[in-house]
Amino acid sequence: MNTLFLRLEGPLQSWGLRARWGERDTTDAPTKSGVIGLLGCALGLRRDDARLRDLSDNLRMGVRVDLPGILMRDYHTTGGGRYSTIASTGGPRYHDEPYIGGVLSAEVTKGRIKVKINQKTGEPETDVSERYYLADASFLVALQGSPDYIGELATAIQSPVWPLFLGRKACVPSTPIFAGTGQFDILEDALKNLLLSPRVETAWQRSRPTQLRLLIETGPGAGNRQYDNIGTPSRRVFRARYVRETWLRLEDGPAPINTMEG
């Protein structure tokens, strides 16, 4: 077997591709860096583990969009204000003070981290960010690599070291992520196997799509460039990857198979 299938489905998913500071985006399909991070959780690899780059280099990824979901924006605040009835007396505030709930700064004094203070109110600063999610989406991911890699990953996904999530830790899966293995010459052939979750089957009974969007990893110059190939994990450096978009006409494919029922 050279192909591992993953079903990525849940109430919320978020696959950041260009996130900076207060703007936490999501692209419209799982990123390779996000999927490699998921595999890293299954294997128990820490963020700075060099093996994450090996995984990224030795696996090719294809995505089939079964349910595209709905884009949602969350106006997100962290910290700010104050706890209890203790009033601000001015001056710096530090992370180890019991009533501080603000955002930490980069300043450290004698081992104590300063909290950002709003210059107008004198109270801990509120950090505001906009976080984007895909609601009710469902994707089938195919990963191709050597049989040894695929076998190890298939085992790890079914018995993960750490909890698995869909892009962000708040995004929990609603169906088993492991969706089987197989042997296929190319990613397009793998994604023609209509492995469906019960939720996708139900949704398609209401609105049967006539074609599905496929995102196939390809070589330089043969697709759209995006930076989601793991580079230096400890520094969150990502390298370019190329992705080709194509479409699968459902009438050309085999009858649906619900693997969740065996």
What are the per-10-residue average pLDDT scores of the chain (262 residues)?
96 90 90 96 93 95 97 86 62 75 82 84 81 96 96 97 95 96 95 90 91 95 91 86 94 49 35
Q: What local confidence, expressed as pLDDT, does residue 202 receive?
A: 94
- Taking phi over 0 as left and psi of -120 to 50 as alpha, with beta for the rest, 84 belongs to left
Distance between CA atoms of residues 181 and 154, nearest Å: 8
Let me know: does 42 contact 160? Beta carbons within 8 Å: yes
How many other C-beta atoms are found inside a 10 Å radius of the C-beta of residue 250?
16
Let me know: does 215 contact 62? Beta carbons within 8 Å: yes
Residue 193's nearest CA partner among 53, 44, 66, 47 is 66
How many other C-beta atoms are found inside a 10 Å radius of the C-beta of residue 212?
20
In whole angstroms, how large is the CA radius of gyration of the chain? Answer: 22
Q: How far apart are the first and last CA of the chain?
A: 18
Give 190: exposed, middle or buried? Use CB within 10 Å, 0-12, 13-18, 19+: buried
Angle (deg, nearest 10), helices 32-43 and 147-158: 70
Q: What local confidence, expressed as pLDDT, does residue 254 receive?
A: 46
Distance between CA atoms of residues 243 and 225, nearest Å: 7
- Taking phi over 0 as left and psi of -120 to 50 as alpha, with beta for the rest, 114 belongs to beta
Q: What local confidence, expressed as pLDDT, does residue 78 receive?
A: 77
Q: What local confidence, expressed as pLDDT, does residue 52 receive?
A: 94
Distance between CA atoms of residues 99 and 60, nearest Å: 49
Distance between CA atoms of residues 220 and 222, nearest Å: 6
Q: What local confidence, expressed as pLDDT, does residue 259 receive?
A: 44
Distance between CA atoms of residues 19 and 132, nearest Å: 10
Q: Please give the backbone phi and psi of residue 94, each rounded to the nearest 5 degrees, phi first.
A: -125, 160
Q: What local confidence, expressed as pLDDT, does residue 68 receive?
A: 96
* DSSP single-letter state for residue 101: -
Q: What local confidence, expressed as pLDDT, does residue 146 receive?
A: 96
Q: What local confidence, expressed as pLDDT, does residue 261 receive?
A: 38
